[in-house]
Amino acid sequence: MAMAKAHLLACLAALSLIAAASRVMAGGRMTDNLEILWGQTQLINGSNGDQTIALSLDRVMGSGFRSKTTYLFARIDIDIRLVPKSSAGTVTTVYMISQKQWKTHDEIDLEFLGNVSGQPYTLHTNIFANGSGGREVQYRLWFDPTEDFHTYSIIWNSEQILILVDNMAIRQFKNHWDAGVPFPVYEPMRLFGVLWDADDWATQGGRVKTDWSQAPFIAYFRNYRAQGCEPSGYSWVCGQDPFGGDWFDGGAGVDDMKQRQQLREAQEKYMIYNYCTDSKRFPNGYPEECGLP
């Protein structure tokens, strides 16, 4: 990794016009940091000044929001309460995506696949780098995500992408750039939150369709926090993170030993699908990163 990091820094230095970036720590009112994009979205103002965004889905359209800021490496946290009861066919999503052309874009996905009443949600995660995706890993949550808010987090730095639920690390995607595995390092990404209909695939492979008699479906979002590097001008280089570390050394992360324990527990107890073990999908060998430590 040291050699890969050296090459990466050299590339960034060559491409960057100004090696400077501002540090951003976001919090407070949701509308200070997020903007509503489309759909029947409700903004709920609390008595203490807090705000909750309610995304709505009916037969006509879904709804969505996005962050006002783009980041090159960040830790994003947001609290979500998912669509209750019969949510089959619906997908509640938070994801980070670059503004590049689709064929070369970067993306980090957390998609919550609804189900019929009494059946658990599936947390479907995926990662794209330089347009290359297909890195799906799925989990069953160990609580009912419709009864209360839970915190979902993305940590993205030069060493890894880490996905957390209630501050428990469940998925890690390491930077194996030196082995030829694409990893998002060049393009800033923006956060989106969307509620949409995907009954052609979301619930049991599309066998269970959306029950529109239950509409409108509503998911709630609150307490958005973003700590990361906001590149200034044409600069692509990000240095210090908000905690005093270096984003190129894995800023805003989790203690390594605790992280490894959490990842092991998530894999053993909650993982229900991993593309790196799907022999039917990859009969001629798994993707390169699957065999790397």
Whether residue 186 contacts residue 46, with contact meaning beta carbons closer than 8 Å, is answered with no
Is 111 assigned a catalytic role?
A: yes
Residue type, 40: Q
28 is written with which tokens? 């407070």
Residue type, 62: G
67 is written with which tokens? 């962050």
Report how far residue 158's alpha carbon sits from residue 176's, in angstroms, rounded to the nearest whole number. Answer: 10
The one catalytic residue among 111, 159, 187, 289? 111
Q: Is the peptide bond before 283 cis (omega within 30 degrees of 0)?
A: no
Whether residue 42 contacts residue 54, with contact meaning beta carbons closer than 8 Å, is answered with yes
Instruction: Please name which of 201, 219, 111, 119 lies closest in space to residue 163, comparing C-alpha atoms.
Output: 111
Residue type, 174: K
DSSP string, 27-73: -SSHHHHEEEEESS-EEEEPTTS-EEEEEEE-SS--EEEEEEEEESS
Spatial neighbors of 92 by CB under 8 A, at least 6 apart, are 55, 80, 82, 83, 111, 112, 114, 194, 195, 219
The one catalytic residue among 107, 187, 230, 289? 107
Residue with tokens 């890690």: 172
Active-site residue set: 107, 111
